[in-house]
Structure formats: C-alpha cells, structure tokens
Structure 1
Amino acid sequence: MKIALLIISISLIACSTKDKPAVGVSVSIPPLAYLVERIADTTVAVNILVPETTSPETFEPTPRQLKEISQSRIYISIGLIDFERELNKSITKLSDSLQVVDLSDGVGVMAGSCSHADHAGHIHGIDPHTWLSPRLMRGFSQKIAAELCKIFPKNKELYNNNLKTLIGEIDSLDSYIISKKLKSFAIGHPSLTYFARDYGIEQFAIEVEGKEPSATQMREIIDRLKKNNIKVIVYNRRLAPAAAETIARETGTATFDFDPLARDWLINMYRVVDVL
C-alpha cells in the first residue's frame, strides 16, 4: 500500500512537469543490471533499485527511485520479491510509455524454506532466487534482449550479437558446473535452491524458517552435516553469520562468503562453483 501511494504522488508530479523521459532501463536487483549491460553495452543507462549492500527482503523504494523508474523506458524485475510484486501492481501509473518486464512469467517456481505466514521478503512459500540458476538466467537474457530490441530497434543487431556472446558464456558456465560433479553443501540463507535443483545436489539450510537456529536446532544441523559429510558452508557475512560460523567451528567445515546480489553475476557464480 505504501508503494502504491508513493506511485500515485510521483505520477501526479510527473504529469505536472515537462521533463522528457530519459532513455534507460531500470532493474530491481544488481544481477539484472549485469544482463542488461552485457546485452545493451553503453546504449542505455541502467538504474538499479536495490544496492548490493541492501537486503531485498526489507527494501522499499524511495520517491526519488520511483521517479527514476518513471523516466525509464523499461523496468525489469525478478517478479517474486515482495517489493517487486507490490510495485508491479501499480507501476504503469508512473508512465504511459514504461514497459514492465516480469521475469517470473513462465518460470516453474520452487517452494521456499519458510513455512510460517509472516516471512518477510517474498511470496509465502515461494523461493525468489531464480537469478542464481544459470539455466534460468539464460532464458532471462533472451527475454531481456527481445524487449530491448522492441524498444530500441536501431540497436537490434548489436543486442543480438551481444546476446549470442552472453549465451555462449552462460552455456560454458553450465558445462563447467556439470564437469565439476558438485557435492551437496550447507548454506546460511537458502538462496541456491534453483541452482541445487538444476545440478542434482542438495543444499542444507542453516536458517530455520528465516531465523537463526536455536541451540537444539543447531545440534541437529551439526549432526546432519556430519552425517552427510558436508565440506563447505556458504553464507553472507552481512546477514546474521553467527550460526554459520559456530557450526563451521564445530564441524571443521570450510566457509565461503557469498553475496547473492553481486553485480558481476558471471564471476560471482564461478566463485561459488569453485568452492562447492
């Protein structure tokens, strides 16, 4: 509701000004900026709503950010994070010429790890981290390129050539992951659900319903990791790392600091693959 009210106020302001929309693209999270920049190169300016250092689960756009979206030609989102869903419901009020691209359309979404109704950040029961699946990002790249070609047709040849290069690099990443024969792993916040599904491995979540585990739950997790011979714990040091670090000490397991929102998506994925 708060976002909807902000959009109404911003749209009224926009209607009362003579500013022309800037040629550009707005995206919800940094990894989507990576795709746009790889495809469009320097032909468009990219505006990112959620900074790398901010959790999308608690994020709310500011009036200034909404105005920046209104001055864009396209707004692209994963479509499964709470603020995205609320924004997508009323974002077209910002500008008649704004093209909204929801990348969740046609995606076979997976259940999230939480089972309680008030979990913040995403649709109840749905895991939103689709961008951490190389195979899904391949499709997202194609969809983004198609939309860019519609809006900026004079750059179609450039976009298609860049898309071909990007798809080749994503396919190389996919082949590399398959060749690594990855093993199951532990993770603080279960953000690699789609990744684990795609490559037939299991992620053992340390969070319990979106929260740090209790002492009893911690012991159960430690026993489970030992039983399954887990060698690495992936976690984000910015997000309540105490449990992951304690479990790592108890089990002698290596840790890896992983930011799901890193802007250089391809390098970020290679980094996490190399430690699994």
Structure 2
Amino acid sequence: MRYIFKIASALILLGTLCCASELRLFVMVPPQLESVRKIAKDSASIELLLPPGANPENFSPTAKQIAALSGADAIFLIGLGFETMLRPRLENRLQPGTLRDCRIGMKLRQMENHEHEDKTHADPHVWLSPDNMMIHAKHVAEMLSALRPENAALYQERYQAYCLELQNLKEMIDLLLKDKFQGKTILTQHPAFGYFLDPYGISQIAIESGGKEPGARHLSRLLTQAKEENIAVIFVQPQFSDKPARALKQRMQAEIISLDPLPEVYCQDLYEMAQNLLRGLTLNDAANQPQR
C-alpha cells in the first residue's frame, strides 16, 4: 500500500510540474491562432487578445488584459495600431525577448485610402498572405525553440508541416484566381485585402474613407467609379458596419457578399474567402457583358 501511495504521489507531482511548465502564449488576432496551435500543440496555452467579433481598428486592450499579458512567456505581435500603446506598458514588465514582431521578414505594402494624409501607412493586414503566414510560422517555431530547446527539432518539424499546408493552400487559391481577373477591381467596405489580391493583379476600392464612414462626396465618387467599372458586388466585413454598403446597394442594384478578414481556421477560411471572391468577381464580369 505504501509503495502504491509513493507511485501515486510521484505521478501527482509529475503532473503538477508538467502543468507548471506549460508555456503561456498570446496572439493579437484570430489568423495567428492556427500556426501557433499547430506548432506548439499541447506544450502551451494560447490566448487571443482581440475578442471575437471585435474591430481591430478601434480596439483598445483593457487593464485586465494588460495584466494577463504581463505573465506571458511569448507575445506574437503582428503590427496593429493598438500594439503601439501596448509595447511601452509591457516592456518593463516582461523578460527581454518576450515580445516578438512577426512582421520582420515580411514585405509590407502601403495601405489604400490615405491619399489625403502626409504620412504613408503600411497595410497591417499581413496575415491575408499565405507567404506572410509562413514567415509568421517561422517566428513561432524560433520563439518556441528558444523557450524549450529540448523540443526544437519537434517544433521545426511541425513548422515545416504547416508551411506545406500553406503552400497547398496557395496552389488551390491559384487555381481559382490566377490569370483570370488581372486589372479587375472589387468594392469593399474596408480595404483589408491588398495582400491577398496583389498576386492576382486585382485592386480594391473602399467604401470607408480614411477609416471613417463615407461622406456624400465620397459616396458619389464611388457610385461613378462602380458604374464605370460595372461593379455588381459589394464585399462587407462582419467587424464593420454595413450600413453604408447597404445604402450603396440600393443605388447600384448590387449584391452583397461577406468576406471575413480575420479567419480563425486559417487554411479552411482563407480558401472559403477565395471562393467568395471568385463568385463576386464572376458576377462583376457578368455585369460587363452586353445585354442581348
């Protein structure tokens, strides 16, 4: 009986040590979750800062969230505006190297719709490029390997497996969009899709103006441009008000299609987004056909 008790005690202690050694990781937005989950697996708990359905453009972390971040082993940054406020509040509370800017190594593009401002703005929606997410995954694998060097080979293996998934995703999306819509334009509520559209020669125009709901003059310009280009579809995003889009829909006789720029099940959701884009672009092309 005493022997069994010792074994049970040892197992309980081992379990406690395993739980204590679990890494605590934070990501900023849902698209980061899949790569971190697939590389870390059960060696970490993974927490998302942006609440479900929230708009990252106007999100501000709460004091409770900042306190939680102070206990992180790693925080994977992605270049959003609210991170600028987070950095100085966290750097004195965290071990050096805890904050990881996952944009390092990515080729950034400039954001549309800032033509009336003096500054240029890097487009923050880097996650909508599978190539960028391969770089993101590399940052994750390197960070985890530094924290748990004994598992480095395993993290590297998982990283390579996930990159293969992303490469397969790229090839599947290419089959839908490559060389089919070059020079075409989509009309979207929020200009989030540049990283996704650029490889296919597709441009975007946004209903919002400078991050705000459009005024009458901007709406008038949009109507003129949409008519000139025979745009028949308006893409809306669930994190933003679709009221301006619905007002335009009535005047354009357009169809509304939802595109979520924050895919959580990344590979599955991004492919679904490509299918919805294909549908919208095909409808736009149909609107360009002469009436018989």
TM > 0.5 between the two?
A: yes
Pairing 1:87-236 to 2, within 5 Å after superposition: 87-96=86-95, 99-112=98-111, 113-115=113-115, 125-181=121-177, 183=181, 184-236=185-237
Q: Aligned partners of 2:122 and 2:115: how far apart in 1?
A: 10
In the other structure, the counterpart of 2:59 is 59
d(CA) in 2 for partners of 1:55 and 1:219?
A: 26
**Does the residue aligned with 1:234 lie in a helix, a strand or coil?**
strand
Question: 1:219 deviation in Å?
Answer: 2.9
CA contact (8 A) 1:29 1:77 kept: no
Tell me which amino acid in the other structure corresponds to 2:186: F
Whether contact under 8 Å (2:77, 2:101) holds in the other structure is: yes
Mark the CA change 1:116 to 1:125 in structure 2 (over 3 Å): closer, same or farther.
Answer: farther
Contact in 2 for aligned 1:24/1:46 (Cα 8 Å): yes
Task: Calculate the TM-score normalised by the size of structure 1.
Answer: 0.82
User: Which residue matches 1:16?
Assistant: none
Instruction: Give the superposition deviation at 1:143.
Output: 1.8
Decide whether aligned partners of structure 1 residues 238 and 69 sit closer, same or farther in structure 2, where only a CA change above 3 A counts.
Answer: closer
Amino acid at match of 2:123: D
User: Any idea what the Cα deviations from partners look like across 1:120-151, whole Å, max 9, x if unmatched?
Assistant: xxx96232111111121111111211211111
Q: Which amino acid aligns with 1:67?
A: A
Distance in 1 (CA, whole Å) between partners of 2:117 and 2:64 is: 31
Contact 1:190/1:205 (8 A) holds in 2: yes
Q: CA deviation at 1:78?
A: 0.5
Residue aligning to 2:12: none
Deviation, 1:190, is: 0.3
CA-to-aligned-CA distance 1:42-73 (integer Å, 9 cap, x gap): 21001111112212222222222222222221
Change (3 A) 1:232 1:152: farther
Find the counterpart in structure 2 of residue 266 from structure 1: 267
Alpha carbons 1:186, 1:205 under 8 Å: kept: yes
The 3 A distance-change label for structure 1 pair 231 and 151 is farther
| Displacement of 1:273 | 0.5
Cα deviation, 1:179-206, whole Å, max 9, x if unaligned, reads 2225332110101122222332111211
TM-score by length of 2: 0.77
* 1:50–1:56 CA contact under 8 A, matched in 2: yes
Runs (4 or more) in structure 1 with deviation over 3 Å come to: 115-118
Q: Would you say the 8 A contact 1:47–1:68 is kept in 2?
A: no
Contact 1:76 1:100 in 2 (8 A): yes
Which residue is 1:11 aligned to? none
Instruction: Give the partner amino acid of 1:160.
Output: Q
Distance apart, 1:251 and its partner CA:
2.8
In the alignment, the residues of structure 2 paired with residue 256 and residue 42 of structure 1 have an alpha-carbon distance, to the nearest angstrom, of: 37
One-letter amino acid of the structure 1 residue matched with residue 77 of structure 2: S
The letter for the 2-side match of 1:60 is: S
> Which is greater in Rg?
2
Q: For 1:218 and 1:267, how far apart are their aligned partners in 2?
A: 34
Q: CA deviation at 1:107?
A: 3.0
Letter in 2 for 1:83: F
Structure 1: any 5+ residue segments left out of the alignment?
1-19
Q: Which amino acid is 1:25 matched to?
A: L
Cα deviation, 1:13-44, whole Å, max 9, x if unaligned, reads xxxxxxx8962111111211222012111210
Which residue is equivalent to 1:4?
none
Asked whether the equivalents of residues 28 and 50 of structure 2 are also in contact (C-alpha less than 8 Å), the reply is yes
**Which shows bigger deviation, 227-236 or 34-43?**
227-236
Query: Which residue identity is paired with 1:193?
Result: G
TM-aligned CA deviation for residue 227 of structure 1: 2.2
Q: CA deviation at 1:167?
A: 0.9
Aligned residues: 252
Letter in 2 for 1:131: W
CA 1:232–1:141 in 2, change beyond 3 Å: closer, same or farther? farther
Q: Which blocks of at least 5 consecutive residues in structure 2 are unaligned?
A: 1-19, 278-292
* Aligned match of 1:74: 74
Cα distance in 2 for residues equivalent to 1:22 and 1:169:
26
Q: Secondary structure at the match of 1:109?
A: coil
